[in-house]
């Protein structure tokens, strides 16, 4: 089988940055033919010593217009994929599926005024891609990025988030984005301290945002720990906010590749 006929391309690892002892970012080259919508994910493959390939799904952190691809990963102790990945360095090869996947994209919503992006841990990755794309800023009047971690040191990409509205192509939208950090296992200045579901139920999230969660105006994206996604969907359903499907537009979109 020729390389062009294979389902994947072989890309170069350009950079690996440890963010905490358990989190790291990686950047790879990008095949010119690889296309994706902000919010989608790719399948990455690493080759083991025995020649077999281990595949894992990772959301793109980078925008659809970057020449490289950025990903955000947790270190899984003894994990088959990250154990292999940890052995790689700059200049080594990674396999990337030619096709992008996933439905955590803005076209899940046909309307809406306010966009809420609710993430735990590495689930913030697709939202960073979405926020680097022009479309979200043009479509929504208000954007709330809610990022929940256990410890403050796990709050990643803070510099990127803080600098979004300073980018030339987004400068006209300054003031649309509000960043709401949550740190659940310790007190941290400026951060809320309870689980996302609790903060919705007791009204603290709306108070912090200065904005109500309503079926009429709010559109909510969820990504992160599967339990958080399931629990938050249930809480939102009690607020008459339902999953958006192709046959039935709604207010909630989730990622399910975990």
Q: In angstroms, what is the C-alpha Rg of the chain?
A: 18
Within this chain, do residues 117 and 218 fall inside the same structural domain, yes or no? yes
Q: Which domain holds residue 165?
A: 106-254
Last residue of a domain, one of 34, 63, 97: 97
CATH code (residue 38): 2.40.30.10
- Chain segment 2-28, per-residue pLDDT in tens: 444 589 999 999 999 888 888 999 999
Residues with Cβ within 8 Å of 169's Cβ and at least 6 positions away in sequence, in order, are 134
Distance CA 85, CA 30 (A): 18
Distance CA 30, CA 61 (A): 13
Query: In this structure, are residues 60 and 129 in contact, taking their beta carbons and an 8 Å threshold?
Result: yes
CATH code (residue 205): 3.40.50.80
What are the 10-residue block averages of pLDDT along the chain, 258 residues in total? 69 92 93 97 92 94 97 89 84 96 95 97 97 97 98 96 95 96 97 98 98 98 96 97 92 82
Within this chain, do residues 208 and 244 fall inside the same structural domain, yes or no? yes
Q: How many other C-beta atoms are found inside a 10 Å radius of the C-beta of residue 186?
A: 12
Q: What is the pLDDT of residue 233?
A: 97
Q: What is the count of structural domains for the chain?
A: 2
Within this chain, do residues 82 and 165 fall inside the same structural domain, yes or no? no
Q: List the one residue out of 60, 29, 177 whose CA is nearest residue 116.
A: 177
Last residue of a domain, one of 63, 97, 131: 97
Query: In this structure, are residues 176 and 142 in contact, taking their beta carbons and an 8 Å threshold?
Result: yes
Within this chain, do residues 76 and 129 fall inside the same structural domain, yes or no? no
Distance CA 181, CA 176 (A): 16
Distance CA 121, CA 124 (A): 6
Q: What is the pLDDT of residue 4?
A: 46
Q: What is the pLDDT of residue 2?
A: 44
Distance CA 90, CA 14 (A): 5
- Chain segment 153-170, per-residue pLDDT in tens: 999 999 999 999 999 999
Within this chain, do residues 208 and 247 fall inside the same structural domain, yes or no? yes
Last residue of a domain, one of 97, 127, 161: 97
Within this chain, do residues 142 and 68 fall inside the same structural domain, yes or no? no
Q: What is the pLDDT of residue 28?
A: 97
């Amino acid at each position: 089988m020729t390389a062009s006929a294979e389902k994947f391309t072989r890309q170069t690892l350009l950079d690996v940055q440890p963010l905490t002892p358990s989190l790291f970012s990686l950047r790879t080259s990008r095949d010119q033919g690889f296309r994706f919508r902000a919010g989608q994910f790719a399948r990455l493959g690493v080759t083991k010593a025995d020649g077999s390939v281990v595949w894992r799904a990772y959301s793109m952190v980078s925008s659809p217009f970057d020449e490289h691809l950025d990903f955000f990963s947790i270190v899984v102790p003894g994990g088959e994929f990250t154990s292999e990945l940890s052995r790689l360095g700059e200049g080594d090869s990674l396999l990337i599926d030619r096709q992008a996947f996933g439905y955590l994209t803005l076209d899940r919503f046909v309307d809406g005024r306010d966009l809420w992006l609710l993430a735990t841990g590495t689930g913030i990755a697709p939202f960073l891609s979405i926020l680097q794309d022009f479309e979200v800023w043009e479509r929504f009047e208000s954007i709330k990025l809610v990022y929940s971690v256990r410890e403050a040191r796990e709050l990643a990409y803070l510099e990127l988030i803080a600098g979004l509205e300073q980018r030339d192509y987004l400068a006209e939208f300054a003031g649309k984005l509000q960043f709401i950090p949550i740190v659940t296992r310790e007190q941290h200045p400026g951060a809320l301290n309870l689980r996302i579901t609790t903060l919705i139920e007791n009204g603290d999230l709306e108070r912090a945002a200065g904005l109500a969660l309503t079926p009429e105006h709010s559109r909510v994206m969820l990504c992160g720990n599967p339990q958080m996604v399931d629990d938050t969907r249930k809480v939102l359903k009690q607020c008459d906010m339902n999953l958006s499907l192709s046959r039935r537009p709604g207010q909630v979109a989730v990622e399910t590749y975990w």
